[in-house]
A and B are shown apart, each in its own frame.
Chain A
Amino acid sequence: MRLMIFSDIHGNLEALQEVCKDSSTRNVHRSIFLGDLVGYGPYPNECIELVRNLKNCRCLAGNHDVATLWETSPYGMSKAAKEAILWTMDQLSPENKAYLSSLPDRLDLGEMTFVHANPYNPKGWRYVMDRKYALRSFAATRSRIVFIGHSHRPLIISKNHWLKVSIETIVGDIKSAVNDSRRRIINCGSVGQPRDDDPRACYLIYDTRKQTIHFHRVGYDVQKTVQAIQNANLPPVLGRRIVKGT
């Protein structure tokens, strides 16, 4: 089975459409979206509708999704993020709000676990980017592979033994084998707002038979999204970030 895993669209419809176009050529069987459909970007409703209509796709809730429903306060976020959330609240249709509120925060599938931020406290939204939180995440699940998003930076954390982990930063299109017995936490990067200095949208495909993880980077018309951000009167810094990929 080939499983597409993507995360953090953040209302960036241009990036999402390009990712969907790219993945449709790669014979994907199922897809799992790890949360943050909205926030930052100018097309929240369109992104939700597109993802809802993807065949064999399941979605999880991210911190921006729950913030638009007031399940967590947006006032704890950065100024730009908070303004974008308040703007998104006004834009979302009641159906899409209901859809966001129905999203689970964790999914277990065979030897895999899927969460937006981390498996030990999915709604604590803590980033897993270092040894401490990686070990805590490994301890919270028995799954061999944990797929996460949230940090917008693709990486693979492997557990070498019970106290040692190795952290591999992913740059560009990379295929990595996961056919050994080591447990892994894999961050699939971000579709709509990458932060690893590469502005291209990022997603991955996990081939369960070949035991490979293939990270894909897809270019899209960033300027079009920047223009839409300006037209929506969202903070200009959000446009600058997606141009730079930071």
Chain B
Amino acid sequence: MTIKRHGKASTTNLKQRFLLWSSLILISGGLLLSLLSFWNTRRLLMAEAMDKSEVLLQEVEAIRSYVKKELRPKMVELHGKDAFIIEAMSTTYISTTIMDTFAQSMPNYIYRRASFNPLNPRNLADPFEEKMLDWFEEDKARTFYQGIVKKNGESFFISMIPDYFTEPCLRCHGKVEDAPQSLIDRYGSINGFRFQVGDLAGINSVAIPVSASLRAAWQGSLVLFIMTVPASLLLLWLLNLLFQRLVIERLGSMLSLMKEKKKETDAEQPGDELDALRASLGSLQQYVHSARKGSSLQPNFINGYVAGTPIIAGAMSWLYRGYTATADNRENVAIKIGFDEALQNPLYRACFETELHLFETLSHPCLPRFRERIGDVVILDAIAGESLSSLLEKGPLQEPLVQRIFSQLCDLTSHMHATGIVHHDLRPQILHLDKNKKLTLLDMGLASSDQQPDPIVAAGLGPQGDFLYMAPEQIQGKRGDPRSDIYTIGVLLYLANTGKLPFSSKQRSIQKWVQQKVKFVVQKEDEEALSPKMIAIITKSLSNTPEKRYQWVEDLQEDLEKEFLRMNS
């Protein structure tokens, strides 16, 4: 059966809140992602620059070491102790000249030899290098420095190592009178002298510009952020659709039902849809509390009627015996009273309204005739006799009675199914038999009609009713399938014939209930009470999958009638 959905949320607070928080989370997420991306790219860039500058610096040190240890001694050996050829014997001259040549092909790599008092004025330390010279002088344990430095608005990654004077260095940097004449001729006798062993000679540094790379990393992160915005919007839209479908529509449908049925005097409640539900649950709690008091729920006078003892108690209404209040023509009636406390719950209100609508519109010999409605009170024709459950307390039913009951029950169920109604909650407590064995159904509180929205589906609630009589798919939450009622009739048929339920043990979880009902097997001791054909009918009705059951209650009725005929012949 097709279930039409209708009704929209009366308020959209929940949806607005969901959208606001979702968009905040998504935008923050996009921002965080971009920042993380920038941080990671910068980290990788630094690591790469560090490796490159260290390689270069170690290369320069290797050149200087080679000059000190190999080239200079060899030149002294060849040209005598007093000779000093700068181009072949000065470590600073050779290393800076080689790196100048290197810089011509690799302009991005800057090599510097800097000191406070150099022979060559071009090696004079700039303010930053002066600071670094001081830093190294402060603590001779400092042998390396790496970091980002800004020069002329450009960022550089710099690696630095200090260089200290040793004994051989003092020939050119010690006393002026000991220095080679060629050196004095080239650089003069003022700067670069009067040092001692262990003095800081200078710092060797390699600088690599990183501004462009950092800029690219920043742009990449910005692009990433810009791209996450439409992606976030798309995700937000999809989430919104999902939320609308899974939550808002169901809540809206339920709340619209509540609004339709609610008294006009009820004031609009503040808060969102969930607050309205919470308020309803609060009222339900109050109802349960008052329901436990029992007798206090029994009313006396309702308009022109007098209510007496209760016949049956339900979750949202009780059915009472009653009679008309006029003294001259007293007539027995049944009075169904919905409780304000329960009916403030929108779900109960919707179920109650559906039930009243069915009592009002359905016409069948097994349904009490609808007389009138007074607010949440319905006056029905009198209901006499006793319930099927109290009859079953005495044991299995006699065969003629079984036949009488199930002919009527199948006819009633086929009438409901033919008009698009599934009962969902057939059980012995709500089936009454009068002295003529006429069956009457007292409750349709969980019924659904394919022409009206199902409030239980709209509320997204799980299974409702008594699991002992319920079909497995109904226990799993599925509603609206007439074959679920056929399963329940199978349970009742077994109960009526044997006095026992086919699955009698109560389970704690839904899974265990479903597992228990996977396969029906007639208990050995009950086989005598059932004919083979009756066993076949019950087994087919109690098939776990609806497709293997009777597809229409009329088919079950036809098989039952054939079997009843055979038994009677």
Determine the chain A residues whose CB is within 8 A of the CB of B551 once the complex forms.
1, 110, 208
- Interface flags, A149-172, vs B, CB<8A=1, else 0: 000000000000000000000000
State which of B414, B451, B555 has its C-beta within 8 Å of the C-beta of A56.
B414
- Interface flags, A196-210, vs B, CB<8A=1, else 0: 000000000000110
Contact B552 A58 (CB under 8 A): no
Query: Which of B2, B418, B419, B420 has the most chain A CB within a 10 Å cutoff?
Result: B418
Q: Taking CB as reference atom, which chain B residue is nearest A113?
A: B2
- Interface flags, B529-560, vs A, CB<8A=1, else 0: 00000000000000000000001101100000
Give complex CA distance A30, B451 in Å: 18
A55 in the interface (beta carbon within 8 A): yes
State which of B1, B415, B451, B555 has its C-beta within 8 Å of the C-beta of A55.
B415
Known interface pairs A106-B2, A109-B1; A58-B555 also in contact (CB < 8 Å): no
Determine the chain A residues whose CB is within 8 A of the CB of B555 once the complex forms.
1, 208-209
Contact A30 B1 (CB under 8 A): no
State which of A30, A56, A108, A209 has its C-beta within 8 Å of the C-beta of B2.
A108
Contact A29 B1 (CB under 8 A): no
B: interface residue count bin: 10 to 19
Give chain B nearest CB distance to A63 CB in angstroms.
21
Determine the chain B residues whose CB is within 8 A of the CB of A30 once the complex forms.
414, 418, 554
Determine the chain A residues whose CB is within 8 A of the CB of B419 once the complex forms.
56, 58
Give chain B nearest CB distance to A123 CB in angstroms.
15
A104 in the interface (beta carbon within 8 A): yes
State which of A1, A57, A107 has its C-beta within 8 Å of the C-beta of B552.
A1
Contact A56 B415 (CB under 8 A): yes
State which of B2, B414, B554 has its C-beta within 8 Å of the C-beta of A107.
B2
Determine the chain A residues whose CB is within 8 A of the CB of B552 once the complex forms.
1, 29, 110, 208
Give chain B nearest CB distance to A149 CB in angstroms.
19
Contact A56 B418 (CB under 8 A): yes
Determine the chain A residues whose CB is within 8 A of the CB of B415 once the complex forms.
55-56
Determine the chain A residues whose CB is within 8 A of the CB of B2 once the complex forms.
106-108
Give chain B nearest CB distance to A122 CB in angstroms.
12
Give complex CA distance A214, B551 in Å: 20
Give complex CA distance A109, B421 in Å: 12
Q: Taking CB as reference atom, which chain B residue is nearest A2?
A: B554
Give complex CA distance A106, B555 in Å: 24
Give complex CA distance A55, B417 in Å: 12
Known interface pairs A30-B414, A56-B415; A108-B1 also in contact (CB < 8 Å): yes
Give complex CA distance A107, B420 in Å: 9
Q: Taking CB as reference atom, which chain B residue is nearest A30?
A: B418
Contact B420 A29 (CB under 8 A): no
Known interface pairs A1-B555, A208-B551; A29-B451 also in contact (CB < 8 Å): no
Give chain A nearest CB distance to B41 CB in angstroms.
52
Determine the chain B residues whose CB is within 8 A of the CB of A107 once the complex forms.
2, 420, 450
Q: Which residues of B, 1-60, contact A by the 8 Å Cβ criterion?
A: 1-2
Give chain B nearest CB distance to A77 CB in angstroms.
28
Determine the chain B residues whose CB is within 8 A of the CB of A55 once the complex forms.
415
Give chain B nearest CB distance to A59 CB in angstroms.
11
Q: Which residues of A, 58-93, contact B by the 8 Å Cβ criterion?
A: 58
Give chain A nearest CB distance to B554 CB in angstroms.
4
State which of A29, A110, A208 has its C-beta within 8 Å of the C-beta of B414.
A29
Give chain B nearest CB distance to A106 CB in angstroms.
7
Give chain A nearest CB distance to B379 CB in angstroms.
23
Give complex CA distance A200, B554 in Å: 30
Give complex CA distance A109, B304 in Å: 43
Give complex CA distance A209, B550 in Å: 10
Contact A58 B1 (CB under 8 A): no
Q: Taking CB as reference atom, which chain B residue is nearest A110?
A: B551
Contact B420 A58 (CB under 8 A): yes
Give complex CA distance A144, B287 in Å: 48
Determine the chain A residues whose CB is within 8 A of the CB of B450 once the complex forms.
107
Give chain B nearest CB distance to A201 CB in angstroms.
23
Give complex CA distance A107, B554 in Å: 19
Q: Taking CB as reference atom, which chain A residue is nearest B481?
A: A110
Determine the chain A residues whose CB is within 8 A of the CB of B418 once the complex forms.
29-30, 56-58
Give complex CA distance A109, B552 in Å: 10
Query: Which of A104, A109, A208 has the most chain B CB within a 10 Å cutoff?
Result: A109
Q: Which residues of A, 200-225, contact B by the 8 Å Cβ criterion?
A: 208-209
Q: Which residues of B, 203-235, contact A by the 8 Å Cβ criterion?
A: none
Determine the chain A residues whose CB is within 8 A of the CB of B554 once the complex forms.
1-2, 29-30
Give chain A nearest CB distance to B28 CB in angstroms.
44
Give complex CA distance A107, B450 in Å: 9
Give complex CA distance A109, B470 in Å: 22
Determine the chain B residues whose CB is within 8 A of the CB of A1 once the complex forms.
551-552, 554-555
Q: Taking CB as reference atom, which chain B residue is nearest A29?
A: B554
Q: Taking CB as reference atom, which chain A residue is nearest B2?
A: A108
Q: Taking CB as reference atom, which chain B residue is nearest A56?
A: B418
State which of A2, A104, A108, A208 has its C-beta within 8 Å of the C-beta of B451.
A104
Chain A interface (Cβ within 8 Å of chain B)?
A: 1-2, 29-30, 55-58, 104, 106-110, 208-209
Q: A56-B415, A56-B418 are in contact. List 6 more A-B contacts (CB 8 A).
A: A1-B551, A29-B414, A29-B554, A30-B414, A57-B418, A58-B420
Query: Closest 5 CB pairs between A and B?
Result: A56-B418, A1-B552, A29-B554, A1-B554, A30-B418
11 A-B residue pairings within 8 Å (CB atoms) = A1-B551, A1-B554, A1-B555, A2-B554, A29-B418, A30-B554, A56-B415, A56-B419, A58-B419, A107-B420, A110-B552
